[in-house]
């Protein structure tokens, strides 16, 4: 695995936030490389920069220094419009707060990934239904998010993230709103489905037990990767 070209690579990432005369350096030269099908966990204390790092890896935020590559493409050099278009094909995201659209059912939420790429035909509908079956929600396709439990909502979010067959899944504290048992189930599901789809997984978590289930465990401390 280590000899192959990483699907996601960042070198020397730096991020600053300014408040008046003060400058807070959140990321201080972070390097990370993720290979196809690999699972990586990132832990760190609150405020260590984990979510900032994930947002930069996703192209949702620009670094103040360093480079970001999606496969062989220099994502940090892409124009905003190109970055947005590439993101929908390259990666999926799972958040602590689910971010499901409350007015549409589970199937339509999963289809949103394809809709953002302008592709919603029979093949995409079949794929969305298959992904809901895979995450154990075959009987919940027509349920609105408010009719689902927290664990079920997160399963919908996992199915949505994988809808477009991404190379990478970025998961930011996906169990933060769940009880321990449900959180364990969601992490196990993420690992299983990503392995089946050969999607790399980058899991930001505060839970040591969840971190140990990944292929590699990283620690972000004071803006640097340990």
What pLDDT is recorded for position 158? 97
DSSP per position, 125-136:
HHHHHHHHHHTT
Helices (H) and strands (E) counted in the chain, each on its own, are: 7, 10
Mean pLDDT of the chain: 93
List, for residues 116-132, the tens digit of each pLDDT value: 888 899 999 999 999 99
pLDDT tens digits, one per residue of 38-52: 999 999 988 889 999
As a whole number, mean pLDDT of residues 74-97 equals 90
Give yes or no for residue 1 having a pLDDT over 80.
no
128 is written with which tokens? Answer: 């969305």
- Is the pLDDT at 3 greater than 60? The verdict is no
> What is the CA angle 117-121-122, rounded to 5?
140
Query: Does pLDDT of 89 surpass 60?
Result: yes
Look at residue 159 in the predicted model and tell me its pLDDT.
97
Mean pLDDT across 62-88 = 91
Domains within the chain, CATH numbers bracketed: 8-225 (3.40.50.300)
Share of the chain above pLDDT 70, in %: 99
8 Å CB contact between 195 and 37: yes
* Residue 45 CB contacts under 8 Å (≥ 6 apart), including other chains: 221
Residues 153-182: tens digit of each pLDDT: 999 999 999 999 999 999 999 999 999 999
Asked whether the predicted pLDDT for residue 226 surpasses 90, the reply is no
pTM above 0.85, yes or no: yes
Task: Assess whether pLDDT exceeds 90 at residue 75.
Answer: yes
Q: Are 219 and 44 in contact (CB under 8 A)?
A: yes
């Amino acid at each position: 695995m280590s000899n192959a070209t990483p699907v996601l690579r960042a070198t020397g990432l730096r991020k600053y936030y300014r408040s008046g005369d003060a400058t807070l350096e959140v990321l201080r030269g972070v390097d990370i490389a993720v290979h196809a099908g690999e699972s990586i966990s990132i832990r760190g204390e609150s405020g260590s920069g984990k979510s900032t790092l994930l947002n930069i890896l996703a192209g949702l935020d620009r670094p103040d220094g360093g480079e970001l590559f999606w496969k062989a493409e220099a994502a940090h050099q892409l124009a905003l419009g190109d970055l947005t278009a590439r993101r929908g094909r390259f990666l999926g995201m799972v958040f602590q707060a689910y971010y499901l659209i409350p007015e549409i059912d589970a199937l339509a939420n999963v289809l949103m990934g394809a809709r953002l790429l302008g592709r919603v035909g029979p093949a995409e509908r079949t794929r969305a239904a298959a992904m809901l079956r895979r995450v154990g929600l075959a009987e919940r396709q027509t349920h609105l998010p408010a009719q689902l439990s927290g664990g079920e909502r997160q399963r919908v979010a996992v199915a949505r993230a994988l809808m477009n067959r991404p190379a990478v899944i970025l998961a930011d504290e996906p169990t933060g709103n769940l009880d321990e048992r449900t959180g364990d189930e969601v992490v196990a599901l993420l690992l299983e489905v990503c392995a089946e789809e050969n999607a790399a997984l980058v899991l930001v978590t505060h839970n040591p037990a969840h971190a140990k289930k990944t292929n590699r465990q990283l620690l972000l401390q004071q803006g640097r990767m340990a």
